[in-house]
Amino acid sequence: MSSLATTVEPQQESAALSRARYRVTGWRVLRSEWAKLWSLRSTWITLVLGLLFLLVFGLIAAWQFESGGLDEDFDRSTAVDLSLFGVPFAQLALGVLGVLVTAGEYSTGMIRSTLAAVPRRLPVLWSKAGLYGLVALGVGTVGAFVAYLVGNEILSGTEAAQSLSDAGVARSLLGAGLYLGLIGVIGAGLGALLRSVAGGISVLVGALILVPGLTSLLPGSWEDNVSPYLPSAAGESMFALTHDASTLSPGAGLAVFLGWTLLVLAGAAYRLRRNDV
Amino acid sequence: MIEAQLLTKRYGEKTAVDGLDFTVKPGTVTGFLGPNGAGKSTTMRMIVGLDAPTSGSVTVNGRHYAEHRAPLQEVGALLEAKSIHPGRSAYNHLNALALTHGIPRSRVDEVIDLAGLGSVAKRRAGAFSLGMGQRLGIAAALLGDPQTVMLDEPVNGLDPEGVLWIRNLLTSLAAEGRTVFVSSHLMSEMALVADHLIIVGRGRLLADTTVQDLVRQAGGDTVKVATEDPARLRDVLAGPGVDIVGQVGSEELHVTGLTTREIGLKAAEHGIPLFGLSARTVSLEEAFMDLTRDAVEYHGTTTAIDTLGRVA
């Protein structure tokens, strides 16, 4: 009996290896996630919505400025400021889609199919966050540039008009695209970390919109020290044209915002590796 | 080949799977039976690495599932809960899974045809009926042409045609030499397809047996015979391998080890009049119920209702 067992096992082993026609690779997981992203209607709808927010709000701001419909707070606005008026709205659309990309798999049960196919798990997270980050970066960058180019046409002749070669203009527009791309990554990370669409969206909106308001409750000196490092403020430093003592420089803003992104991704990776699904 | 060693899963205080030891061998259909809440689905999730065992281990073809280069080629699994995104079409769902392994599109088309989903492959999976959803899950399980096929309650929600399709599929997969592991809480369904049975209750192994052995253990086939002279009939029928049970003052005997035909012939030979002669086959269902009675998680509450009725 024991001699039979020892002769059978090596044969089974070699048979299993020769049968292995297929193989999971990082590149294939990327291709799979790419196909998944575009095979859902919600992706198209939300991306179009994000792009529309960028264009429509940017152009409305430009129009209103040109026709004198904005109040005096905006008197010193530039074409970049006005055309990036839609960024806070677009960040919601793109961030929510990021949450859906990961948390949507948990709410539907798709995650079980996904992780049965890729049981090492982490390649799924990197693929989802990376691919969707690039898509959001693409949409954000295109949206920012188009909003600026069209908005600047509307603003030509006013003191807000700027040339793309003016100091900081191109950097601001690229920064806005990069910010929106990283928002997408953060959304995907939050979705994977919280495994809930509602939870992911709540935390995303809370961190970007509610928390900045709450810092005003802190004592003055704290507020000055904490506020610039919050995700929203650090992110805004990436695409703001002008910076003062109370804000970070674009480079520092990018570094801090990248830090937040990596923090969320690390949490997501930890939970993905450790927890049952 | 699936091998579980002291496989255990605890959720806080509750032990869902308690030291399971079993082997599922290739070439046969192995039924995984147990009442609801017996830990079948948890065990299956541990086999494909979705849940991590608290202790013990389970391997597929000699390795942990996650260590395989092409997991879908090792085990194709249909899990109990839906594992699809309702917004994606059946084709896109299968194609996305295929892409992770480099499985060609032609294989995606093949499993769609195999599962009879050809006409609905481009429709959103969310609009599928329960039966269609099961078929899609089975198509996904077969995608990697896996050596081991593991299906959790596959006949749930299927119409009679679908049930028949599953039965034929399971037996043909086993005939091809694959390992087939199917869970169910219905013994009657398992009896039709399974050769081997692994029976669990409250996370524990109750029996690792074959269908025939289970029936034999549960009392086998008994013949009930009523006669004018039970004492004499008893002497006439007595012999090696024959077991006769009767009560004093009763005309009835319960005989095992002889068929109705043999009993009738012997009685006639000795001129003993018979009033009744009937075979009583212990159904697998009964055998299963006996085995799992103590392990049923949620008993019906007929007695409670009776009591209430009497009070009222």
> How large is the ipTM?
0.88
Q: How many residues does chain B have?
A: 312
Closest residue on chain A to B136 (Cα): A113
Give the SS3 label for residue B11.
strand
For A214-227, letters b (16+ CB in 10 Å) and e give eeeeeeeeeeeeeb
CB contact under 8 A, B49 and A32: no
Closest residue on chain B to A127 (Cα): B100
A94 min Cα distance to partner chain B (Å): 19
pLDDT in tens, chain B (312 residues): 999 999 999 998 899 999 999 999 999 999 999 888 899 999 999 999 999 999 999 999 999 999 999 999 999 999 977 899 999 999 999 999 999 999 999 999 999 999 999 999 999 999 998 889 999 999 999 999 999 999 999 988 788 999 999 999 999 999 999 999 999 888 888 888 999 999 999 899 999 998 878 876 766 678 889 998 888 898 888 888 888 888 888 888 888 888 888 899 999 999 999 998 888 766 677 778 777 777 665 555 554 444 444 443
> Which residues from A are below 8 Å from B81, CB to CB?
109, 112
CB-closest option in A22, A39, A105 to B70:
A22
CB contact under 8 A, A28 and B70: no
A116 min Cα distance to partner chain B (Å): 6
Residue A6 has pLDDT above 50, yes or no: no
> Which residues from A are below 8 Å from B97, CB to CB?
32, 113, 117
Look at residues A121, A117, A177 and name the one whose alpha carbon lies nearest to residue A147: A177
Q: Worst-scoring range by mean pLDDT, A218-222, A249-253, A267-271?
A: A218-222
Closest residue on chain A to B79 (Cα): A112
Per-chain mean pLDDT for chain A: 90
Q: In chain B, which ranges are continuous DSSP H helix?
A: 40-47, 71-74, 90-101, 105-114, 130-142, 160-175, 187-193, 211-217, 230-237, 260-269, 284-292, 302-311
CB contact under 8 A, A35 and B66: no
- Across the A/B interface, how many CB contacts are shorter than 8 Å? 116
> Which residues from B are below 8 Å from A191, CB to CB?
none
2.60.40, 3.30.70, 3.30.160, 3.10.450: CATH of B221-281 = 3.30.70
CB-closest option in B89, B96, B102 to A22:
B102
B51 min Cα distance to partner chain A (Å): 4
Give one DSSP letter per residue of B218-253, joined into a string: TT-EEEEEEES-HHHHHHHH--TT-EEEE-TT-SEE
For residue A270, count other CB atoms closer than 10 A to its CB: 11
- Interface residues of A toward B, Cβ cutoff 8 Å, are 9, 12-13, 16, 19-25, 28-29, 31-33, 35-36, 39-42, 104-105, 108-113, 115-120, 276-277
A176 min Cα distance to partner chain B (Å): 31
- CATH architecture under which domain B2-210 falls: 3-Layer(aba) Sandwich (3.40)
CB contact under 8 A, B65 and A119: yes
Interface test with A, best of B2, B75, B85, B105 (most A CBs within 10 A): B85
CB contact under 8 A, B96 and A36: yes
Token representation of residue B101: 């392994």
Q: Which amino acid is at B181?
A: F
Q: In what order do the strands lie in the sheet with B274-281?
A: B243-246, B252-256, B221-227, B274-281
> Which residues from A are below 8 Å from B106, CB to CB?
none
Domain locations in chain B as residue ranges: 2-210, 221-281
> Which residues from A are below 8 Å from B50, CB to CB?
112, 115-116, 276-277
Q: Residue B304: what pLDDT? A: 44
